[in-house]
């Protein structure tokens, strides 16, 4: 019996989804991206060789796997072509294996200009976007003025639509943000040139997915970012512009809710966050000035916590079960993949946040918005560390006893099994206790 499995990040992103997608795609016919854009960064390490993907599904490194970009993804053709070029240079054959929905909204140069102009205007109140135009592209989609991949198939109509929408956005750029407008003719010419490469990839993705289902073939749905950045469920307004929860796999690809068989929630063994927004368990450390919390420094240094997309330093802190419990609920998580356990190897004591104190009350459910999060104080339980290497361990019995206890505590607090354990960046540095595609 075939399965449809969704992989999502349960925290603020950067949990290690790309490696896990690559790992278990040996059992699938296709991998589907269903939301976000090239603001995601999925890092894969195979035989010491690192590949960073931003837009193309992580299954592209498996020779026989089809990679599908669903209509929930906002697509930058410039980013796509750059990524394809990097894969080709690395010897990865993508020919005939990448397909794109005609309903994907296009990210255009004016979206990027708007994104950056807004962040600059916000100053210290900036959200911390990647500046890649993701939010403005989703805005155009919702406002029903956005251009889509399928529009490229009719150049005359595309040119007319582009002129109209650029007139609208250039007015805002010039008159409100006091910045330079984007040139229409240059944008049109560049876009049509890029389109010649992309057009052969345009496919009815929803139909193809349902054909795989009819053929009783396994499908993996790959989420980007993390559930706590969801536009509806996240720490608003410090969120991304799409639905990063498992429900986004349905709305962003065209499958039905009953088509999903298993949701694998990726949990980093500690917590990280990039950009602005509240972070109750943060252990503040600034790499530029080499000042702040020493454990925060160790987590960031050992874990190499710098964004794959932006290169920005990630903020680090203890595992937060107030947010995780909510994440497990809203994603209907079936099992956990615990990543970066090895980053904790050197710590004498490890903490887990199990509740917050807010307005002199103890709460176990997250606050409504970013303001509530910012005022919340974490309440911890402490566990002894193992101070021994877990790197590359592929047998559960070989783990240090305190490491086993930490994993079992996570299972106890979540009431979910840890089905996969990642003990290093390499594909084979993984312990699979229960394969998501097993019967």
Q: Is 343 helix (H, G, I), strand (E, B) or coil?
A: helix
* Contact predicate 336/418, CB 8 Å: yes
Of the residues 38, 42, 54, 212, which is catalytic?
42
| Residue 42 known to be catalytic | yes
| Residue 111 known to be catalytic | no
DSSP class of residue 200 equals G
Rounded distance between C-alpha atoms, residue 416 and residue 231, angstroms: 25
CA distances to 2, 134, 187, 265, 279 from 258, rounded to whole Å, are 14, 29, 42, 18, 34
Rounded distance between C-alpha atoms, residue 2 and residue 255, angstroms: 15
Query: Which residues are paired to 372 by β-bridges?
Result: none
Give burial (CB, 10 Å; 0-12/13-18/19+) of 91: exposed
Rounded distance between C-alpha atoms, residue 402 and residue 421, angstroms: 15
H or E stretch covering 92: none
**Bond from prior residue into 237 cis (ω within 30 degrees of 0):** yes
Compute φ and ψ for 106, nearest 5 degrees. Answer: -85, 135
H or E stretch covering 417: none
Query: Which residues are paired to 36 by β-bridges?
Result: 73
* Contact predicate 99/203, CB 8 Å: yes
Rounded distance between C-alpha atoms, residue 354 and residue 324, angstroms: 10
- Which residues carry out catalysis? 14, 42
């Amino acid at each position: 019996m075939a399965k449809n499995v969704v992989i999502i990040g349960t925290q603020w992103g950067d949990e290690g989804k790309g490696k896990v997608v690559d790992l278990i795609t040996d059992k699938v016919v296709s991998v589907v991206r269903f939301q976000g854009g090239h603001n995601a960064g999925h890092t894969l390490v195979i035989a010491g060789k690192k590949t960073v993907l931003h837009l193309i599904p992580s299954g592209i490194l498996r020779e026989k796997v089809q990679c599908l970009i669903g209509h929930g993804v906002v697509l930058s053709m410039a980013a796509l072509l750059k990524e394809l070029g990097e894969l080709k240079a690395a010897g990865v054959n993508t020919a005939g294996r990448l397909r794109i929905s005609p309903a994907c909204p296009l990210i255009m140069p004016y979206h990027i200009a708007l994104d950056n102009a807004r962040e600059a205007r916000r100053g210290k109140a900036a959200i911390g976007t990647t500046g890649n135009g993701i939010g403005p592209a989703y805005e155009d989609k919702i406002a029903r003025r956005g251009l889509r991949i399928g529009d490229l198939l009719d150049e005359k109509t595309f040119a007319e639509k582009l002129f109209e929408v650029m007139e609208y956005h250039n007015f805002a750029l010039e008159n409100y943000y006091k910045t330079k407008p984007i040139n229409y003719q240059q944008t049109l010419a560049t876009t049509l040139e890029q389109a010649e490469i992309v057009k052969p990839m345009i496919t009815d993705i929803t139909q193809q997915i349902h054909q795989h289902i009819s053929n009783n073939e396994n499908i993996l749905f790959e989420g980007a970012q993390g559930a706590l950045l969801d536009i509806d469920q996240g720490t608003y307004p410090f969120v991304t512009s799409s639905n990063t929860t498992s429900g986004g796999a349905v709305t962003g690809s065209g499958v039905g809710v009953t088509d999903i068989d298993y949701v694998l929630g990726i949990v980093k063994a500690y917590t990280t966050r990039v950009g602005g927004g509240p972070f109750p368990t943060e252990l503040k450390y600034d790499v530029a000035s080499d000042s702040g919390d020493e454990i925060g420094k160790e987590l960031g240094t050992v874990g190499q916590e710098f964004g794959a997309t932006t290169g920005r330093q990630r903020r680090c802190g203890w595992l937060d079960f107030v947010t995780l419990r909510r994440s497990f609920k809203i994603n209907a998580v079936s099992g956990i993949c615990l990543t970066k356990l090895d980053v904790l190897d050197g710590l004498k004591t490890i903490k887990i946040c199990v509740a917050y104190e807010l307005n002199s009350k103890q709460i176990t459910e997250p606050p409504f918005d970013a303001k509530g999060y910012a005022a919340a104080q974490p309440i911890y339980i402490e566990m002894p560390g193992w101070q021994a290497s877990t790197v590359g361990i592929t047998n559960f019995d070989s783990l240090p006893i305190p490491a086993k206890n930490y994993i079992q505590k996570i299972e106890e607090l979540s009431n979910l099994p840890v089905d996969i354990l990642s003990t290093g960046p390499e594909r084979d540095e993984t312990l699979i206790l229960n394969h998501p595609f097993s019967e």
